[in-house]
């Protein structure tokens, strides 16, 4: 019995030990302690997630494709494979741009792009199912197809990248605002045009614009050749919202030198005139001028004293001091420390004083263009009184007219204030008059040969301007050097062109440019010019008026083509027709000027006002505003001292310099257009000018 009890106790102790070991061993499995065993696995506590649960595309125009995206985030220390599928009734309208199997790297992300393309006007819904290992996610998709025109505000409506070195880039921004009060809109701006490869999107909206929301488009211009590039950004299929783009590729190694030539025009012997050359460093390192050579008759007044920093601009001031009454010309040569050479043509003529002198004073703030001479800027300006006489001997009206002129500048713009005494106000040329009877019968209408009042400024662009005779130089003959009476009815834009040289002509017209706030900007060339023996509007640009009557022999020759419509831009409908809002003439409808049936004596304007719709037009460089009051015209003019005209059609005016110009007034003048001359009968208009014919303008 004793032995049996010992054996029994032994086995009981053994079982207890085994049980204890098993319990302790199980506890270690559930909560392992640290170990030095390199084979033991380290746990991965990272997660997989998506950054969005919905993609709302808002309203999208039919058949337009809009992309949106979400991101799969993997914070695990190992890569995961994600399976993506689009499901739902409208799944076909949503397209996955990536593969259905996406590998998301360890502690990395993957972007999934879904495109929405509506094909009908309705709401579309679908879902994106994402499976990544044991993780499942859902992203809801929604969008609506629409044909509604997008109501946007685009600013600016044109981008001018100016000059960019070939191979380099420049970026500009367009700001877009959704003016709609209820709907989100998704935009897909595109670049179209012959040079589309030179313009690319650096940024464009990635999500719909909320009501009142503002976003932008950033466009990068990278020219590949030496040329001028033109393209357009279109924001909607109907091309209602567009932005014009322009840029020029250049091959300037280190400097941009402007202008390419300096014409000092006529300067009195013993006098002097200074003009500036701008030199801009367009590289990423400093540039210095190692040598400047200048021809006889010209001297360097000032130049950069040291190196020009990257992107900085400095200037070279050149003075023309003639010692003889003759023409001077030569080449200014600039050499940089990079051994790059730039040539600038210099021209000038030594002459005498004109006898009429107008001082252009400096002002801090220029006048407002409103036809009101009470601005503070005009109070201290010198007033030059002018007696105007008939220039053309063949014109029967030989009366003398009186005028005054003032000028100021603010360093950027030059301004002129002109007052002309004229008892008759003429600002609605070639009126079309209804003579009574049936308004649908052409014989009951007639076109009058009345004209419009006008003011002209004529500046020589080159130093060799003259008329048919070698002795008719501009400093002696003035505008007569550019008067070819017999050519006015057959030559494009009339016969005002010199025999030699080039002139810049500003022409304010009371009936066609004044209501639009401008004076017409022309350039005219002699037989040595770009367009020989021709005057034309600066390009790009188009005429400010369009005939409201038809060519003779085409039927309904006397009947108006259009009548004023809409609000007519606030203008008198019996005197002006704003072409953009005009309506086709309907003899059965009421006269829009009176609101009544057509009655004998009713007048329809003979010309429609046509605005300059090209964002880069150079025919609209001269702003103006004229008011007829107290028996005469009061007209203000405004133009940049240097318009940087790309075609060389504008005179460059600069401070501390003298310029010659001619002033003319046209009383009830016929419209300068070949179409009008060949259509109607009547004498060519005469015009009034000063004696002597040239005025010296001194810009202070």
Greater model confidence, 547 or 166:
547
Is there a domain that residue 439 lies in? no
Helices (H) and strands (E) in the chain, counts: 4, 46
**Any residues with CB less than 8 A from the CB of 11 and at least 6 apart, and which?**
none
As a whole number of angstroms, the distance between CA 303 and CA 324 comes to: 26
Same domain, 631 and 661: yes
pLDDT score of 9 more than 80: no
Dump strand ranges (E) for 376-511: 384-390, 401-409, 413-421, 432-434, 445-447, 452-460, 502-509
**Poorest-pLDDT segment among 240-254, 343-357, 478-492, 581-595:** 478-492
pLDDT on residue 672: 53
> Given pLDDT bands bounded at 50, 70 and 90, which one contains residue 216?
very high
pLDDT tens-digit readout, 470-528: 888 888 888 888 876 555 444 444 568 899 999 999 999 999 999 999 999 999 999 99
Residue with tokens 């392992």: 32
pLDDT on residue 27: 43
Cβ-based burial of 277 (10 A; exposed 0-12, middle 13-18, buried ≥19):
buried
Is the distance from CB of 656 to CB of 411 less than 8 angstroms?
no
Of the chain, the end-to-end C-alpha distance in Å amounts to 139
Is the distance from CB of 449 to CB of 677 less than 8 angstroms?
no
The pair of structure tokens assigned to 435 is 């003579």
Is the distance from CB of 288 to CB of 336 less than 8 angstroms?
yes
pLDDT tens-digit readout, 104-145: 999 999 999 999 999 998 999 999 999 988 899 999 999 888
| Residue from 297, 302, 294 nearest 332 by CA | 294
Note down the domain range covering 53. Answer: 48-146
Is there a domain that residue 610 lies in? no
Q: What is the mean pLDDT of the chain?
A: 85
Is there a domain that residue 125 lies in? yes
pLDDT score of 238 more than 80: no
DSSP 563-577: E--TTGGG--TTT-E
The percentage of residues in the chain with a pLDDT greater than 90, rounded to a whole number, is 51
**Any residues with CB less than 8 A from the CB of 221 and at least 6 apart, and which?**
161, 164, 169, 170, 171, 172, 198, 199, 229, 245, 247
pLDDT on residue 491: 44
Bridge-based pairing state of the strands 562-563 and 190-192: unpaired
Is there a domain that residue 422 lies in? no
Same domain, 176 and 265: no
Greater model confidence, 58 or 626:
626
pLDDT on residue 142: 92
> Given pLDDT bands bounded at 50, 70 and 90, which one contains residue 43?
low
Same domain, 535 and 664: yes
Same domain, 476 and 511: yes
Is the distance from CB of 234 to CB of 189 less than 8 angstroms?
yes
Same domain, 140 and 276: no
As a whole number of angstroms, the distance between CA 428 and CA 451 comes to: 7
Is the distance from CB of 475 to CB of 351 less than 8 angstroms?
yes
As a whole number of angstroms, the distance between CA 692 and CA 347 comes to: 24
End of a domain among 194, 215, 250?
250
Is there a domain that residue 478 lies in? yes
Same domain, 635 and 520: yes
End of a domain among 107, 122, 146?
146
| Residue from 649, 667, 357 nearest 510 by CA | 667
Same domain, 516 and 634: yes
Same domain, 125 and 173: no
As a whole number of angstroms, the distance between CA 328 and CA 316 comes to: 19
Same domain, 526 and 670: yes
As a whole number of angstroms, the distance between CA 167 and CA 202 comes to: 16
How many beta carbons lie within 10 A of that of residue 138, not counting itself? Answer: 12
What total number of domains does the chain contain?
4
What CATH number corresponds to the domain at position 121? Answer: 2.60.40.10
Average pLDDT over residues 213-233: 91
Average pLDDT over residues 258-276: 81
DSSP 285-312: S-B-EEEEE--TTEEEEE--SSPBPTT-
CA angle at residue 520 from 517 to 525, to 5 degrees? Answer: 165
End of a domain among 351, 367, 396?
351
pLDDT on residue 13: 54
Question: What is the helix (H) or strand (E) element at residue 11, kind and residue range?
Answer: helix 2-30
Same domain, 646 and 695: yes
pLDDT on residue 675: 53
Is there a domain that residue 114 lies in? yes
CA angle at residue 553 from 549 to 557, to 5 degrees? Answer: 30
pLDDT tens-digit readout, 152-203: 889 998 999 988 877 788 999 999 998 876 777 777 788 988 888 899 999 9
**Any residues with CB less than 8 A from the CB of 22 and at least 6 apart, and which?**
none
Highest mean pLDDT of the ranges 28-37, 175-184, 244-253, 617-626: 617-626
| Residue from 378, 383, 275, 301 nearest 658 by CA | 275
Dump strand ranges (E) for 568-656: 577-578, 583-584, 603-604, 607-609, 622-628, 632-640
pLDDT on residue 16: 47
Beta bridge partners of 62: none
Q: Could you give the 3-state DSSP secondary structure of residue 254?
A: coil
Is the distance from CB of 334 to CB of 673 less than 8 angstroms?
no
DSSP 490-553: TSTT-SB--SBSEEEEEEEETTTTGGGTEEEEEEEE-TTSSSTTEEEE-SS---SEEESSPPTT
pLDDT score of 376 more than 80: yes
What CATH number corresponds to the domain at position 482? Answer: 2.60.40
As a whole number of angstroms, the distance between CA 492 and CA 191 comes to: 36
As a whole number of angstroms, the distance between CA 486 and CA 469 comes to: 16
Cα 478 to Cα 49, 400, 692, 695: the distances in Å are 82, 19, 8, 9
Same domain, 52 and 192: no
Is there a domain that residue 380 lies in? no
Is there a domain that residue 366 lies in? no
Alpha helices in 528-684 (DSSP H): 674-679
Same domain, 338 and 294: yes
**Any residues with CB less than 8 A from the CB of 293 and at least 6 apart, and which?**
332, 333
**Using CA of residue 244, residue 248, residue 254, residue 255, what is the dihedral sign?**
negative
């Amino acid at each position: 019995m004793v032995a049996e009890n010992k054996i029994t106790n032994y086995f009981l102790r053994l079982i207890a030990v085994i049980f204890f070991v098993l319990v302790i061993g199980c506890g270690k499995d559930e909560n392992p302690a640290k170990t030095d065993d390199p084979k033991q696995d380290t746990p991965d506590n990272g997660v997989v997630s998506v950054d969005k649960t919905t993609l709302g595309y808002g309203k999208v125009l039919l058949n337009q494709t809009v992309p949106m995206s979400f991101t799969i985030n993997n914070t695990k220390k190992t890569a995961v494979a994600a399976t993506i599928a689009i499901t739902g009734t409208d799944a076909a309208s949503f397209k996955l741009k990536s593969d259905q199997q996406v590998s998301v790297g360890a502690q990395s992300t993957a972007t999934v792009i879904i495109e929405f393309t509506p094909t009908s006007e309705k709401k579309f819904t679908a879902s994106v199912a994402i499976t990544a290992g044991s993780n499942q996610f859902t992203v809801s998709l929604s969008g609506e197809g629409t044909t509604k025109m997008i109501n946007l505000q685009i600013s600016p409506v044109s981008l001018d990248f100016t000059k960019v070195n070939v191979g380099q880039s420049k970026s500009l921004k367009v700001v877009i605002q959704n003016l709609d009060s209820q709907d989100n809109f998704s935009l897909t701006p595109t670049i179209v045009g012959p040079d589309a490869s030179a313009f690319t999107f650096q940024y464009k909206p990635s999500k719909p614009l909320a009501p009142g929301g503002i976003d932008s488009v950033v466009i990068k211009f990278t020219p590949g050749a030496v040329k001028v590039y033109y393209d357009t950004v279109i924001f909607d299929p109907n091309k209602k919202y567009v932005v014009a783009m322009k840029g020029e590729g250049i091959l300037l190694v280190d400097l941009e030198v402007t202008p390419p030539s300096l014409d000092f025009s006529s300067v009195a012997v013993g006098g002097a005139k200074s003009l500036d050359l701008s030199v801009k460093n367009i590289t990423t390192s400093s540039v210095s001028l190692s040598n400047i050579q200048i021809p006889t008759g010209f001297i360097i007044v000032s130049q950069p004293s040291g190196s020009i920093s990257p992107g900085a601009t400095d200037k070279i001031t050149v003075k023309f001091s003639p010692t003889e009454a003759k023409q001077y010309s030569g080449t200014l040569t600039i050499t940089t420390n990079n051994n790059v050479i730039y040539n600038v043509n210099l021209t000038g003529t030594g002459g005498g004083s004109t006898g009429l002198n107008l001082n252009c004073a400096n002002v801090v703030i220029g006048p407002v263009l409103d036809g009101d001479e009470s601005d503070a800027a005009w109070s201290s300006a010198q007033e030059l009184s002018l007696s105007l006489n008939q220039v053309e001997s063949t014109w029967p009206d030989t009366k003398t007219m009186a005028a005054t002129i003032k000028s100021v500048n603010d360093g950027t713009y030059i301004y002129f204030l002109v007052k002309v005494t004229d008892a008759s106000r003429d600002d609605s040329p070639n009126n079309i008059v209804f003579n009574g009877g049936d308004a649908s019968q052409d014989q009951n209408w007639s076109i009058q040969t009345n004209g419009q009042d006008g003011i002209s400024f004529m500046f020589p662009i080159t130093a060799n301007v003259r008329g048919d005779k070698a002795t008719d130089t501009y400093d002696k003959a003035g505008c007569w050097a550019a008067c070819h009476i017999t050519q006015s009815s057959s030559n494009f834009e009339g016969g005002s062109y010199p025999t030699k040289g080039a002139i810049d002509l500003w022409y304010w017209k009371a009936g066609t440019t004044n209501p639009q706030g401008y004076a017409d900007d022309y350039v005219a060339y002699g037989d040595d010019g770009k367009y020989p023996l021709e005057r034309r509007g600066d390009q790009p640009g188009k005429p400010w008026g369009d005939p409201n009557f038809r060519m003779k022999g085409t039927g309904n020759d006397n009947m108006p083509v259009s009548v004023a419509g809409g609000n007519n831009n606030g203008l008198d409908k019996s005197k002006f027709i704003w072409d953009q809002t005009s309506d086709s003439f309907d003899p059965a409808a009421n006269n829009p000027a009176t609101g009544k049936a057509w009655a004998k004596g009713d007048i329809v304007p003979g010309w429609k006002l046509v605005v300059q719709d090209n964002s880069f037009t150079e025919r609209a460089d001269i702003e103006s505003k004229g008011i007829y009051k107290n028996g005469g015209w009061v007209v203000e003019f405004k133009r940049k001292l240097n318009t940087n005209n790309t075609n060389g059609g504008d005179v460059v005016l600069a401070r501390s310099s003298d310029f010659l110009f001619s002033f003319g007034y046209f009383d009830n003048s016929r419209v300068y257009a070949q179409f009008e001359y060949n259509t109607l009968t009547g004498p060519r208009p005469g015009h009034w000018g000063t004696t002597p014919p040239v005025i010296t303008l001194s810009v202070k």
